[in-house]
Structure 1
Amino acid sequence: MLKCSACKRKYSPKRINKIMMLIDYFCEDKNALQTSKQLRLSYVSIHKYYDIFRLLCANICEIEYELSRGRSCEYEEYFYLEQSKRNDRLAVFDAHNFLTFDYENHIYTLVMPTLQRYKQQFIDDNLENVYNSEFNKFKRKSRIIKVSKHLNKIVNFWEYFEKFILNYKGISTENFPLYLKEAEFKFNHTLEAQKMLLQKHYFESQYE
């Protein structure tokens, strides 16, 4: 057992090594199921650790935003809809809408309110086709914006996010913001920086 000189708590070196290994797997985009199989550990346990890591990613993103918010920025709105739902006209209400800010090459995201609560009302009023038509117009306009702006930092993040999110399936509306923040954190930092930051913030949160 080791004793922290600051908080006087005792903790196992074996547990420390396990957590650092899980952080490595998390930063290398191995999902909880893949990690549990490779390490032969409980999926439920790994999933709990990953949830903690995502919360830390979100906290780090907010800390960095506070340091960056005084800089000049650009932003664009983005709608994300899972590929499996893109041919379903009613799935437009399941789309995730978020703003993407570029603070001098540092990305920050902000999730907008979901339209899910209005889905049944639109169906009852026979307005889903009207809304779906407007949404498709918006997507066409968004593609024009992407082309005209070429490969700026915001578009680079959108492309990164579209690939990143494929590693996960069936993300709920409630959990989507944490996965978005995970993508933001990873996009803004190199792999080694990700690991160092998560290790620092995890152990500080546990033993402060």
Structure 2
Amino acid sequence: MQCFLQGKSALEASSLFDISYVSTKNYYQEFREICALISEKNYSNVREKNVEYEEYFYIEKSKKHKKDAIFDAHNFLTFDYDGYIYTLLMPSLHRYKKQFLEDNIENVYIEEFNKFKRISRIIKVSKHYNTIVKFWNFFEKNIVVYKGVSNELFAYYLKEFEFKFNHSIEDGLELLIQNYFKEIQ
């Protein structure tokens, strides 16, 4: 759990503790699932508050210069409730790619998305450095360690970073231990 919270990869942790990579990877996924449960529980306690939020498009570094990257982007809302972050993953556009290609309107969407990215980049630069922007920077810096995340598991990785951003390593370790042993009883 400490390795997970410190951002060590499953491979590093498996070598450090001399256990199989597959076992370590499975533990890490369990920890991500617990992070998601804790985040949902915390958010349910403040759900009624009025909070700030922003929409964010995440495109993997290797795909950022691809013309049709809009279809591979992960779109999520980021809420700031009293200095804590909560993320909500929006539906992927990937499932609509075939339809856009068949309708021959892919280029229209790509051009509009590129305009949006240019405008939103100007807006982001002009905004003050708030908790939401700090989270996005934290997320972008740390997600690259994984060298690509499958669409099926992306939500869990997003919740992992939300959890790590919201909690110190010490507090996070305590929460993971409490919830991990609660889950296996």
TM-score using structure 1 length: 0.86
Q: Which residue of 2 aligns with 1:195?
A: 173
Structure 1 stretches of 5 or more lacking a match? 1-22
Cα drift, residue 145 of structure 1: 2.4
Query: Is the CA contact (8 Å cut-off) linking 1:54 and 1:178 kept in structure 2?
Result: yes
- 8 Å contact from structure 1 (residues 72, 104) kept in 2: no
Following superposition, the deviation at residue 74 of structure 1 comes to: 0.6
Note the C-alpha offset of 1:67. Answer: 1.1
Q: Point out where structure 2 has 5 or more consecutive residues left out of the alignment.
A: none
Q: Does 1:131 align with 2:109?
A: yes
Which of 37, 42, 56 is the aligned partner of 1:59? 37
Distance 1:70 1:92 in 2: 32
Letter in 2 for 1:61: S
- State which drifts further: 177-186 or 83-92: 83-92
Residue in 2 aligned with 1:30?
A: 8
Post-superposition Cα deviations, 1:36-58, rounded to whole Å, max 9, x if no partner, equal 12222111101111111000000
Please report how far the alpha carbon of residue 31 of structure 1 lies from its aligned counterpart in structure 2 after TM superposition: 1.4
AA aligned opposite 1:42? S
Give the Å deviation of 1:144.
Answer: 2.2
Structure 1 contact 54–181 (Cα < 8 Å) conserved? yes
Q: Once the 2 structures are TM-superposed, how far is the Cα of residue 123 of structure 1 from its aligned partner? A: 1.6
1:109 aligns with 2:84: no
* Cα displacement string for residues 54-76 of structure 1 (whole angstroms, at most 9, x for unaligned residues): 00000000010011212220111
Does residue 1:166 correspond to 2:169, yes or no? Answer: no
- Give the corresponding residue for 1:140: 118
Displacement of 1:150 after TM fit? 1.6
Structure 2 equivalent of residue 75 of structure 1: 53
Q: Distance in 2 between matches of 1:33 and 1:128?
A: 40
Residue of structure 2 equivalent to 1:204:
182
Secondary structure of 1:98 counterpart: strand
| Paired residue secondary structure (1:88) | coil
Moved more, 135-144 or 187-196: 135-144
Q: Distance in 2 between matches of 1:124 and 1:157?
A: 37
The percent of aligned pairs where both chains have the same amino acid is 57
Q: Secondary structure at the match of 2:55?
A: strand
**C-alpha distance in 2, partners of 1:137/1:28?**
37
Question: Alpha carbon RMSD of aligned pairs, Å?
Answer: 1.1
Displacement of 1:126 in angstroms is 2.3
CA shift, 1:131, in A, is 1.1
Q: Tell me if the contact between 1:71 and 1:104 (Cα under 8 Å) persists in the aligned partners.
A: no
Contact 1:27 1:191 in 2 (8 A): yes
Tell me the amino acid that sits aligned with residue 69 of structure 2.
Answer: A
Q: Which one has the largest radius of gyration?
A: 1
DSSP-derived class of the 1:178 partner: helix
Of 134, 144, 163, the match for 1:185: 163
Q: What do the CA deviations read for 1:64-118 (whole angstroms, capped 9, x no partner)?
A: 0011212220111000000101111122200000000111211100000000111
